Amino acid sequence: MGVTRTDNYFEDFQVGDTYIHGRGRTVTEMDNVMFTHLAMNTAEPHFNEDMMANLPSLNKFGSTRVVVGTFSISLIMGLAAEDCCENALAELGLDKMRLPSPVFHGDTIYAESEVIGKEENGDNPHAGIVHFRVIGRNQNDERVFEGERKVLIKKREYYLNEDQKFGPEASF
């Protein structure tokens, strides 16, 4: 059983289902600066306020720093995880990712997911593969992320009891 839901096993997802994820998250300056530097990103529009303020004509973001895209992607995938990936065994792939609009400090980000495919997993009969289209939007309903993810998700039978203990036959 998931921590927050009981209806997010492989069997519960149907092609065409759409999930408007309940939580939003406001992006802070700390999020951006920390993620930028931890990832060793050297693109100054993410951390050089002076450059952005003094050279607005040289960049497409105006005169303010822009949030590093890898943080935006991570945040949106995290917002989607509660509904779509809580019973995941593995993230199998991310594809067709686009960042159509920038994210700035103070933006609040929301996510939605649509089930666009579902298949049995020949390697593990206790799990199946669900293919999602994920959209991220800001507080103005502008798309800031589009992408797809494939996730290996447990089948309900995978659990032996309510304590979420795994059996010795469990394979990942």
80's CB contacts (< 8 A; 6+ apart) are 19, 21, 111, 112, 113, 132, 134
- Name the token pair of 74: 């991570």
Residue 166 has pLDDT above 80, yes or no: no
Per-residue confidence band for 97, with pLDDT thresholds at 50, 70 and 90: very high
| Ranges of each domain in the chain | 10-158
Average pLDDT, the chain: 87
Q: How far apart are CA 71 and CA 131, in angstroms?
A: 22
CB atoms inside a 10 Å sphere around CB 137: 19
Residue 118 has pLDDT above 60, yes or no: yes
Residues 113 and 80: beta-carbon distance below 8 Å: yes
The stretch 11-22 carries a mean pLDDT of 95
How confident is the model at residue 164, as a pLDDT? Answer: 54
pTM reported for the whole predicted model: 0.85
CATH topology of domain 10-158: Thiol Ester Dehydrase; Chain A (3.10.129)
- Summarize pLDDT for 37-86 with one digit per residue, the tens: 999 988 888 888 888 888 766 667 777 889 999 999 999 999 999 899 99
